[in-house]
Chains A and B, each alone.
Chain A
Amino acid sequence: MANALDPHAAIATTATGLTDGALRTTDGMPLVRALARSQKRARRRAFLLVLPLLAFILITFVVPIGQMLQRSFYNDGFSAHMPQLSQWFDDNPRGAEPDEAAWAALATDLQAAAEARTIGIVGTRINYDVPGTRSLFTSTGRQVRRGLEPPYQAALLDINDDWGSPALWSAMREASSPVTSNFYLAAVDRTRADDGSIAPVEERQQVYVMLFMRTFWLSLVITATTFLLGFPIAHLLATLPMRKSNLLMILVLLPFWTSLLVRTTSWMVLLQQQGVINDILVWLGVIGGSQRLQMIYNQTGTIIAMTHILLPFMILPLYSVMRTINPSYVRAARSLGATSWTAFRRVYFPQTLPGLGAGALLVFILAVGYYITPALVGGSSGQLISNMIAMHMTDTLNWSMAAALAALLLGAVLLLYWVYDRMVGIDNLKLG
């Protein structure tokens, strides 16, 4: 009877008395399951809101990039259109001298490719490895269509001596398999020798490693200069009263909102030999009229213009971190006898590191992939790896090579992006 008098005990009895001791909703479902179900529904609803965009990004962005990267290791330009010769390479080990069967396969394939008008594709593929061979393929194609008599070796050599070149046969062997690592080897200035071993390419052809190094080096320099220029500005904006700092902030945000091409154009105008800066220097008498400085179409141009373009990306994260630093820490350090330099170095600066990390990573990531500005103001010594990718895409049409370079660059950028996400969190990315 004591239970009946105690209302709490009564509830406990009814609750446990039902069946298995679990709390239930009014319709008799255990509370745990009801909660899980409603959580699941909420999760699904949240995910459904994101789904359209996720699908859009996957289709228009992620998949196309994946498809493009596939070209870096898969190129069937030769193997698909030269089946018999590819088969012969499969059957015979590396280093085997091409016998009459090989020449016969070559002649048949050339004839078939010429009929199908795919010989240009084949020639282009071999041309990547042995420059100048595209015309060999197309001109031979025109001749073999009129018919070719065995012995094929003699007949083909008769059309053009170049068919006997070991380098050509080696290139054809490499191209006979659609899956290849050769484009990646080329992207790090390596090549596969006739016996299959990997060796550095000739010294005068080594460009890519140098370009990667230059890209990273210039990006580092640009990150450092944006830091040197951005730190004082961010500090000033963070310590000024709100009204003044909002006004000055406009001076940072205006370049941020101004078109990239406009800013690049202005630098081209300013830095020209007959441009404003050189004119001022001549007028001031710093330099003579005949010794105008070459500040554009070289690395200097790239560094100046890109520093200007990326500076807001350094200032904004630094500023938002500096805003939160309590000024009384520095005052406390001063009152304990620290000089202003010590107080800055040991108390203030360490607190700005999160902002510095965010800004530096962002600037570096953006700088590594820059294309427009180096292409316009970089000249030949200020070109970055992006410009090489563009060149292979539009001029040499070596798309596999462009894809291999893009894959390496993308790998580096994604690694940095991952670090950024880890350190800063992409949700903390702020604009303006």
Chain B
Amino acid sequence: MAVPTYATPLERIWHYSYLVICGLIFFFLIAPIVVIIPLSFNAEPYFTFTDRMLSFDPEGYSTRWYRSLLTFGMQNPDATGWAFWSDAWNNANWVKAAKNSIIIGVFSTILATVLGTLAALGLSRPEMPFRRAIMAILISPMIVPLIITATGMFFFYSNPCELLGIVGLPTNCGRLAGTYLGVILAHATLGIPFVIITVTATLVGFDQSLNRAAASLGANPRTTFFRVTMPLILPGVISGALFAFVTSFDEVVAVLFIAGPEQQTIPRQMWNGIREQISPAILAVATLLVIFSIALLTTVELLRRRSERIRGVTPR
């Protein structure tokens, strides 16, 4: 990226201004995410840096918004010791939302990963019929606007057995809207495209002769899968699972339409918080989520490198 020796002075000037422009764009990408971290420690309920913060006065900083996350919704926030923590665990709104997000995220991720990995294995076989069309259908939950998906799910989950009426079966089975199962199924649907994309990408360089070699040495298909295929595609599967988890963890539209008050998740709680009276406590949540995404990004990046190494793909 150095300036070539034959560059004219004008080109040199352009080159350095180009670097400055790129710097500004990187700033645009990162600054909004970073700026909320110090703001979440603001001692005042403002969304900007106070004079005390700018002069690095410790008085200007406080962890009150983090504390309020823990206590918001508690029955007795002034309790101490064990009573405080058990009250927070059972009643604090954000804690409950976090529990819900994790439960829903984990189960929908498992569902999406198992189904998605199997399908990706099938799709990557050269004999697969209608490959393109099926792939297009399986990826579509990522492309179809979420509001349309959520609207469709709203009716379907309110009365999932309505369909059975077409073939003359009783149509009054239980509703899935407002249940954990409903939200998990919906989130699995939305996470599946990510699993398919990452796992098929891993399988692109997969050497099918390894499977044949295992079979010729007497391994049955099950052994071949668990001892040969799985270890090789595992990094792709894990990063697909992480994508599916993040999708579920960040999803708000479907939750707004099909979840009941029991299934309050972190994004939904944030949505309510932003829509009503935005309080700096939201910034504390946001900061925690940013740290969470940094951890995830690091994991995915490490997995990608590992996957490239064990598949013998030289880094691009």
Contact = CB atoms under 8 A, between A and B. Distances in A.
Interface of A: 39, 42-43, 45-50, 52-54, 56-58, 60-69, 71, 229, 232-233, 236, 239-242, 248, 250-255, 257-270, 272, 274-276, 279, 308, 311, 320, 323, 331, 334, 340, 365, 368-372, 376, 386, 389-390, 393, 399, 402-403, 406, 409-410, 413-414, 417, 421, 426-427, 429-432
A401 B164 CA distance: 25
B119 interface: yes
A49 B134 CA distance: 12
B258 to A, nearest CB: 10
A50 B21 contact: no
The majority secondary structure among interface residues of chain B is helix
B219 interface: no
A259 B296 contact: no
Contact of A61 (B19, B189, B267, B294): B189
Interface stretch (B56-64, B68-76, B92-100, B191-199): B191-199
Given A46-B128, A372-B252, A432-B304, A270 B189 contact: no
A171 B139 CA distance: 41
A383 to B, nearest CB: 12
Q: In which size bucket is the chain B interface?
A: 35 or more
Contact of A254 (B30, B119, B197): B30
Counting from the closest, the 3 A-B pairs by CB-CB distance are A369-B145, A49-B122, A64-B156
Nearest to A269: B47
Contact of A376 (B194, B201, B275, B304): B275
Contacts of A274: 46-48
B270 A266 contact: no
Contact of A417 (B140, B189, B201): B140
B144 interface: yes
B28 interface: yes
A58 B192 CA distance: 13
B293 A257 contact: yes
Contacts of A254: 29-30, 33, 293-294, 297
Given A232-B21, A261-B250, 20 more contacts: A47-B129, A49-B119, A57-B140, A60-B186, A64-B156, A67-B156, A67-B162, A68-B148, A68-B154, A69-B152, A241-B1, A254-B297, A272-B47, A311-B29, A369-B148, A372-B252, A427-B135, A429-B139, A429-B197, A432-B304
Contacts of B289: 258-259, 262
Contacts of B102: none
A369 B150 CA distance: 12
26 contacts: A46-B127, A49-B125, A52-B119, A54-B119, A60-B185, A61-B140, A65-B148, A67-B152, A68-B156, A233-B22, A248-B26, A251-B26, A258-B33, A259-B289, A260-B250, A261-B267, A265-B274, A276-B39, A323-B316, A369-B145, A371-B147, A372-B253, A393-B257, A417-B143, A421-B132, A431-B243
Contacts of B143: 365, 413, 417
Contact of A426 (B136, B186, B246): B136
Contact of A262 (B127, B275, B278, B290): B290
Given A54-B134, A54-B138, A275-B48, A48 B154 contact: no
Given A265-B270, A269-B47, A386-B147, A64 B119 contact: no
A426 to B, nearest CB: 5
B32 A251 contact: no
Nearest to B163: A63
A267 B32 CA distance: 7
B32 A266 contact: yes
B151 A413 contact: no
Contacts of B135: 426-427
A406 to B, nearest CB: 5
Interface in B251-271: 252-253, 257, 267, 270-271
Nearest to A403: B151
A261 B197 CA distance: 24
B286 interface: yes
Given A257-B296, A261-B274, A279-B49, A60 B147 contact: no
Nearest to B118: A49
Nearest to B19: A236
B25 interface: yes
B155 interface: yes
Contacts of B145: 368-371, 386, 409-410, 413
Contact of B144 (A252, A264, A410): A410
Given A257-B246, A369-B145, A421-B136, A50 B35 contact: no
A263 to B, nearest CB: 6
A409 B33 contact: no
